[in-house]
Amino acid sequence: MSKLFLMALCFAVLRSAVCTGSVLGDAAASMKAGEWRDLQANGMDYGMLYYDVNGDYTNPVTDYSDNLSWDPTGNEALYVGSGNYYTYKFLRYSAVTNTWRSDPNLPACMKNRGCNWHAFDNGSMDEVNRKYYFINSSGLWTYSVATSQWSSALALPSNMAQGVGSAMEYFPSLNGLASVIGGTVTVYNLTTHQVTVAATGLVMAGYNQVAAYSPTFRKFFFGGDAAGNFYSMDSAKKVVKVANAPGLLHENNSTLTTDPATGKILYLGDPQSSNAGKLFVYNPDSDTWQSAGNAPQTGHALATPVSNEGVVLFLFPATYKTYIYKHAAGGTALEKGTLPSAISLSVSPNPIASHARFTLGTELKAGPATLALYDCKGRKIATLAASTQGVFNWSTAKAPAGVYLVKAELKGKSATKWITVVK
């Protein structure tokens, strides 16, 4: 069971019981499917997005990008961008305090115009390891959220699909960065530093591409032209043409993101077209687009899935507004094939003060089963001895009060149960 699965599921189902609450989380928990909510976030203003250079104001640092990144452990959004090739800004939104801030912690060349582009779609987060990847003219930068440290820029192979106007997403099962520019798609392996060219000659513009990764479908979705030509790449690095988006795909004129509750792709239309303010959803299962109503703003937006709350965070720079959108009820979607089988597992008592007995259904009594307990951070706190009788006894002596996930496994089948420890 992946750490990301446990962490996301725990936050989505029982966040308030064991984890730090947040303004965003409280709002998300009270929303209905299809609802938008203005967070009335603090800190986002003109000075946050622009530089005053001797009275000449630059373009906003959010120009030519539609992409924020999310750290579920820290409950915050991250964004690195530059306006009109000026110095970068590192913007961070805290869901706990509902506040934006500008973090001065950037590499020297990003502060002195030594390696600057716009952000484009070249930032992406490894949520499990809390690493933020960012590509610019110096190469690949890695920011460790846990240590607040930037790596030195790593030179990238010349055959990698990256550059001015490229789009990139972290692809967990490939341990790499999937990227696209000008009809070429590549995967850069973060361990071997080797590049695999997945496709060339795809129909799209030469730059200004957009992309989104869906953990549910384990696919990289992308495109970038006026016709809305749209593609997907799976974990086998197979690229296929899928149904065209409803309009222009361009990182400064449309927004492409993922709904964390279903894994479907969301598209917010071009503000300068008839699709201004219109939201559409793409279903990879049926290869179809459908209308999902209207956004509360018609301007360009940057967005990120909030994986631990089942909503999408939208920043509308023109009005400095921060919204969340809940596309579907429920928590965070899981990768296809990772949902546990419907096998019975009971616990008595629950809540638990000192001791508990876990009893497995008959399906899991057919051989030695194992049972493990995980806390809200996805850490395994206990593994109980294998049982051929389907019964496990557990003492809470070493477990703090809180909510835990119990998982029993046997021959590829599994059962899960939430428990509450009270002291």
Picking from 127, 214, 122, 256, the residue whose alpha carbon sits closest to that of residue 177 is 122
Sorted by sequence, the CB contacts under 8 Å of residue 334 that are 6+ apart come out as 5, 8, 9, 215, 216
Tens-digit pLDDT profile for residues 337-377: 333 334 567 888 988 999 998 887 654 444 567 788 887 66
Query: pLDDT tier at 153 (50, 70, 90 boundaries)?
Result: very high
CB-CB contact of 28 with 306 (8 Å): yes
- The position carrying tokens 């490894």 is 126
Picking from 278, 258, 252, 182, the residue whose alpha carbon sits closest to that of residue 217 is 258
Q: Residue 199 pLDDT > 50, yes or no?
A: yes
pLDDT, position 406: 85
> Dihedral sign, CA of 113, 116, 118, 123?
negative
pLDDT, position 339: 33
Q: Residue 230 pLDDT > 60, yes or no?
A: yes
d(CA 38, CA 319): 12
List Cα–Cα distances, 351 to 131, 261, 384, in angstroms. Answer: 36, 28, 19
Tens-digit pLDDT profile for residues 2-54: 444 444 444 444 443 334 458 998 898 889 999 999 999 999 999 899 886 66
Same fold, 3-326 and 345-421: no
User: 271 in the Ramachandran plot: left (φ > 0), alpha (ψ -120 to 50) or beta?
Assistant: alpha
Tens-digit pLDDT profile for residues 114-147: 887 899 999 999 988 899 999 999 999 999 999 9
390, two tokens: 């389907």
Tens-digit pLDDT profile for residues 252-303: 999 999 999 899 999 999 999 999 999 999 999 999 999 999 999 999 999 9
Sorted by sequence, the CB contacts under 8 Å of residue 31 that are 6+ apart come out as 37, 311, 324, 326
Single pTM value for the model? 0.77
The Cβ of residue 55 has, within 10 Å, a number of other Cβ atoms equal to: 5
In single-letter form, the type of residue at position 404 comes to Y
Q: Based on the number of CB atoms within 10 Å of its own CB, is 299 exposed (0-12), middle (13-18) or buried (19 or more)?
A: middle
Query: pLDDT tier at 201 (50, 70, 90 boundaries)?
Result: very high
Task: Output Rg (C-alpha) for the chain, integer angstroms.
Answer: 22
Domain boundaries, the chain: 3-326, 345-421
Tens-digit pLDDT profile for residues 47-82: 899 886 665 566 899 999 999 999 988 889 999 999
For residue 174, the 8-state DSSP code is G
| CA angle centred on 212, ends 207 and 213, rounded to 5° | 135
Q: How many residues does this entry show for the chain?
A: 423
Letter string b/e over residues 1-19, b meaning 16 or more CB atoms within 10 A of that residue's CB = bebbbbbbbbbbebbeebb
- Give the containing element (helix H, strand E) for 360: strand 355-360
d(CA 323, CA 196): 37
pLDDT, position 392: 84
CB-CB contact of 140 with 133 (8 Å): yes
List Cα–Cα distances, 191 to 151, 179, 239, 285, 354, in angstroms. Answer: 15, 16, 23, 32, 45
The strand pairing partners of 373, in sequence order, are 382, 406
CB-CB contact of 238 with 248 (8 Å): no
- The position carrying tokens 């051989």 is 367
pLDDT-above-70 percentage for the chain: 85
CB-CB contact of 101 with 91 (8 Å): yes
247 compared with 1, residue with greater pLDDT: 247
Q: What is the architecture of the domain spanning 3-326?
A: 6 Propeller (2.120)
Tens-digit pLDDT profile for residues 77-101: 999 999 877 889 999 999 989 999 9
Picking from 229, 104, 235, 114, the residue whose alpha carbon sits closest to that of residue 169 is 235
pLDDT, position 172: 92
DSSP string, 132-151: EEEEETTEEEEEETTTTEEP
d(CA 201, CA 184): 6
Name the class of domain 345-421.
mainly beta
Picking from 150, 148, 129, the residue whose alpha carbon sits closest to that of residue 139 is 150
61, two tokens: 């640092």
- The position carrying tokens 């003060």 is 353
Cis peptide before 271 (omega within 30 of 0): no
3, two tokens: 């750490």
The strand pairing partners of 185, in sequence order, are 180, 199
410 compared with 26, residue with greater pLDDT: 26
Picking from 14, 94, 1, the residue whose alpha carbon sits closest to that of residue 420 is 14
